[in-house]
Structure formats: C-alpha cells, structure tokens
Chains A and B, each alone.
Chain A
Amino acid sequence: MLESLIQNIINALQWGSFYALIALGYTLVYGVLTLINFAHGDVFMVGAYIAFFVATFCLTVLGLPGWVALILVIPLTMILTSLVGVTLERIAYRPLRKKGAHRLYVVITALMCGLILEHANLAILGASRKAFPVLIEVQVYNIGGVTFTNLKIAVIVTAFLSFLFLHWVVTKTRIGMAMRAISYDKFAVPLMGIPLDQIIVVTFILGSGFAGLAGLLFAMSYPVLEPYMGALIGWKAFIAAVVGGIGDIRGAFIGGFLLGAVEIMVVAFFPSTFRDLISFSVLLAILTWKPTGLFGIAQTTKI
C-alpha cells in the first residue's frame, strides 16, 4: 500500500513536471501581456522536434556519445525553441499590439499560430511519427518495491530548478520587476526609460525556452513524436496555469503538479479512459470554488 502510494507520487511528480514547465510559459506571457498564448503547446511540440533534429545530428553526423550529445542538445533546443517563440511575437503579436487590437483578436491569432505550427510540421515532415534517439541509458532503480528511473528523477529535478530560476527572475531581478510593471501598466513603462519590446521579447524567450526544455524531456521519456503531440498537453498545461492562478509563477507550478497528481490518482482507481474526464471535472470544481485560481488575486480596479 505504502509502496504504491509512493510510486504514484513519483509518477504524479513526473507528469506534473511536464505540465508545470509548459504552464510556466503560459503564465509568464499572460502575466506580462494578458495574452493567452494558445500557440504555446505547439511551441512545446516544435521544441521536441528541434531536440530530435539536434540530437540526431549530434549522434549520427558528429558521432558524439549520447551524454555529450545531451549536453549540447539541452542549450541548443532551448535557444532554438525560444527563437520560435520570439518569431511568433515579432510577426504575429507585435503588429497587433502596435495597432491597439483588442485582446480577443490577439488570442485568435495565437490559436492560428498554433495550428500553423502543427500543420507546417505535417506538411514539411509528413504524417509519419519520429522515434526520438536514446541519449542516455535509462537506469531502473527499485527501492522497496518502488521503481523509478534516472530520467524521471531528472525530469522532476529540472522542473523544480526551472521554477526556482523563473521565480528568481520575476521577483528579484530588474528585468523581472519591469515584467511585473508591464503587467500592471504597459503605458508607463517606456516613460521609465525601459524598452518595452525588449522586455516582451525576454518574456517570450523565457517561456518558449522552457517549453523547449519540456519538449526535450518529454521526447526522452516518451520517444514518439507527432505533430499534434503539443495540442492536448498544451491545453492541459493552460488549464493547470489557470487553476494555479494565471499570471503567477507559483500558481503555474502548483497547478501543473496538481493536475499531474489528479490524473495519476484517477488512473490508480478508475479505468484509464476516465482520466481526462475526471481530472478536468476536478479542475472545473476548483475554478467554480475559486475562479481566480489558487494563487490568483481578484483584479483590483485602478484609482
């Protein structure tokens, strides 16, 4: 009984890590621009594919050993994926912002960007799935009936470190202070001598970079890639961010793990086909009870 509980907790933490890493990107962009970047799940997918190409290149063309390849794949995937996010901001969101478009149009644009990423992938790479190469030997450990792998532990540790890093950026650095300022009053930010577009680009770099990292870790854990892999997980991470209180880094993190935990617990007691139905129902109940999310505060009116 105790083993199965611990086992489920480890599994929940691993699942939650993916949701949390993606939810962090949703919440960062929302926090700064009040834009729900619905393309974010697909940026995660692109991240997984970028990781696939970089890893394949390192292993087959350069002939590097797996662990050396991994050391290169992590930063390259994060950098290249963040470029995708920055490109979306530059060509899709920024022109709308400059025209003063209503938020609704920006959100619809974001949805379109996501669909374009999915179908561009389909058009360019075809419908066949890609198998992600093995970068590190997966070690299975068994302690008192609880099994876990080095990869699972790495995923969980990475999610925690990413959270601590982003939380530090937002709360302690000047750029984080500027990000928070934009979320409250975009108008006054340039008046402080702060280049608004630059801060927004940094936000997209951070959000997309960590989505890329999530893509890499996901591909290493479940090594089958397909163009729609980001759609459902993106939606779920978005919901996790909302449940945590969108705009708040802690909320995204807690929300991600909460969703992971709920899903794993549902599967432990019900048929696995019930998973999404029950977990979404639980989240709906949480939102009914606290519509602003666990960490969200009701928007106060400005004087």
Chain B
Amino acid sequence: MMLSIENLEVKYGNIQALHGISFHVNKGEIVTLIGANGAGKTTSLHSISRLPPPEAPRVIAGDIRFNGESILKTKPDQVVKDLHLALVPEGRHIFGNLTVMENLQLATYARAKGTDFEPEYQRIFDLFPRLHERRKQRSESLSGGEQQMLAVGRALLTGCNFLMLDEPSMGLAPVLKYELFRKLKQLNDEGMTILLVEQNANLALHLAHRGYVLDTGKIVAEGTGEELLGNPEVKKAYLGG
C-alpha cells in the first residue's frame, strides 16, 4: 500500500469535515474519490498534502501513512520533495504573474541543482503541445483548459510519482475534458499512481481502477470502477439515475 488513510478525522475550526474515513491507494493504481459538494473530497487531499494553516484542516484522530510511515508531522514542501507526492489543486492555482516556462521551472525548485531538466520540459511539451506554443506568455493569459494543463505539467515537474488531482475537469469544454483524462491514462500507463477527486463521477469511474464514494465526511461505498458504475445507489445519487 503506497498511501493509506486510517480512520481519519479532521476539523476546520470547530466544524468536523471528516468523520473517520479509511481508504488506500496501491502503487500504480488510479483511485477516485467521488461525492457531492462538501462531502470531504478536497479536505482529504489537503490533509494528505499537509498544507500549513490557515488553509489546512486539522487532523484530530486517525493517521495518514505513506509507504507505511505516518506523515502527520511532515511539512507540505517535504511531502512534494521527499515523498514525491504532488497535488494539482482545485482552481488550478497557477502563478499568473509568471510565464508558462517560469511556472514549470519553479516546480523544479526543490530538486537537485545542476540537473538538466530540458528532457523533462520536453516531455511536458510533448504531453501538452499548447504549453510549448505559449511558453513565453504570462500564464494568466492562458485559457482555462491551458491553465489546467499547466497545473498538471507543473505538478509532474516536481518529480512526483504519485499525483493527486482535485476536480481537474471543472470548467473544461467536453473535448478538453476527454483529452485530459486520456493524458492521465497515459501517465498511469507509464507508472504514475493517481488519486483523482471528481464531481464528474461517470468519467472518473470509467478511468479509475477503484473508487470510494464520500458523503458528508464518511465513506459510503467502495469498489472497482465497474462495481461502482453498476451500483444502483451510486447510480441514483451520482450518475443521474
């Protein structure tokens, strides 16, 4: 088990957002967390990323283990640098005042100095050719879809082998949505472990090996993508009947 969440309970201020959830991700898997707004999906990802206060929820019980070791005391930059676990946050959060290229360069900040990152930049540009065309532009001038590609490319350049994505399809045109999911499949085929949070449950469950359904801070169903797609409860609540 690469990542395991054990009876995790977290609070934002006085409000409890997760009521003891457990799930795990094996190496090489695509796992998805689905659920309605406020179910605790983003909270789960922020907890795993160990974001600092005030953004981060406070863990009050349970554990987050990465390769068997608790990471509750790990700092957010170490999660990226040492555990190679990256998050593509909801809303993209690209650095709009930097160029596309600078955004990518910044992602290599914590990695060994003197490394030649050219092949890796090239790999990102192969994956998302639009970014190459626009590499000298201020990134806030990109379209929503391009910004999402930059956010993914940037996360990959941190040298991660475990990628978490929070609502990557939000605001994307259908054609871009499918393209992005194809790229995620491609990354997974090349060995990337993926934890995907999605509102578009149908799309996510078709991509993922396994999934968990969250509802108000609890896990209410789990199974393989196919099982969940066939589950009548899930169908009714999240797949539009």
Q: Is A180 part of the contact surface with B, judged by Cβ < 8 Å?
A: yes
Q: Which of A180, A302, A303 has the most CB of B within 10 A?
A: A303
Q: Which of B52, B86, B89, B158 is within 8 Å of A98, CB to CB? A: B52
Collect the chain A residues with CB atoms within 8 Å of residue B155's CB.
Answer: 191
Collect the chain A residues with CB atoms within 8 Å of residue B87's CB.
Answer: 191
- New A-B contacts (12) at CB < 8 Å, excluding given A100-B55, A185-B95, A192-B106: A98-B53, A181-B98, A187-B55, A188-B89, A188-B94, A188-B95, A190-B49, A190-B80, A191-B87, A193-B77, A193-B80, A196-B76
Interchain Cβ contacts under 8 Å between A and B, 25 examples: A98-B52, A98-B54, A99-B53, A177-B105, A177-B109, A181-B97, A184-B96, A184-B97, A185-B93, A185-B94, A187-B55, A188-B89, A190-B52, A190-B77, A191-B76, A192-B77, A192-B110, A192-B158, A193-B80, A193-B81, A194-B77, A194-B106, A195-B77, A300-B96, A303-B144
Q: B93 touching A180 by the CB < 8 A rule?
A: no
Within the complex, the shortest CB–CB distance from B4 to chain A, in Å, comes to 21
Q: Is B107 part of the contact surface with A, judged by Cβ < 8 Å?
A: yes
Interface size for A (C-beta < 8 A) is 24
State the B residues within 8 Å of A (CB).
Answer: 49, 51-55, 75-77, 80-81, 86-87, 89, 93-98, 102, 105-107, 109-111, 140, 144, 147, 154-155, 158
Q: Is A183 part of the contact surface with B, judged by Cβ < 8 Å?
A: yes
Q: A180 touching B98 by the CB < 8 A rule?
A: yes
Q: A191 touching B49 by the CB < 8 A rule?
A: yes
By secondary structure, the B interface counts as: loop
Within the complex, the shortest CB–CB distance from A223 to chain B, in Å, comes to 42
Q: Is A178 part of the contact surface with B, judged by Cβ < 8 Å?
A: yes
Residues 158-187 of A, flagged 1 when their CB comes within 8 A of B and 0 if not, give 000000000000000010011011011101
Q: Which of A244-284 contact B (CB under 8 A)?
A: none
- Bound Cα distance A191, B94 (Å): 11
By secondary structure, the A interface counts as: helix
Known contacts being A191-B86, A193-B158, is A177 close to B102, with CB within 8 Å?
Answer: yes
- Bound Cα distance A177, B111 (Å): 15
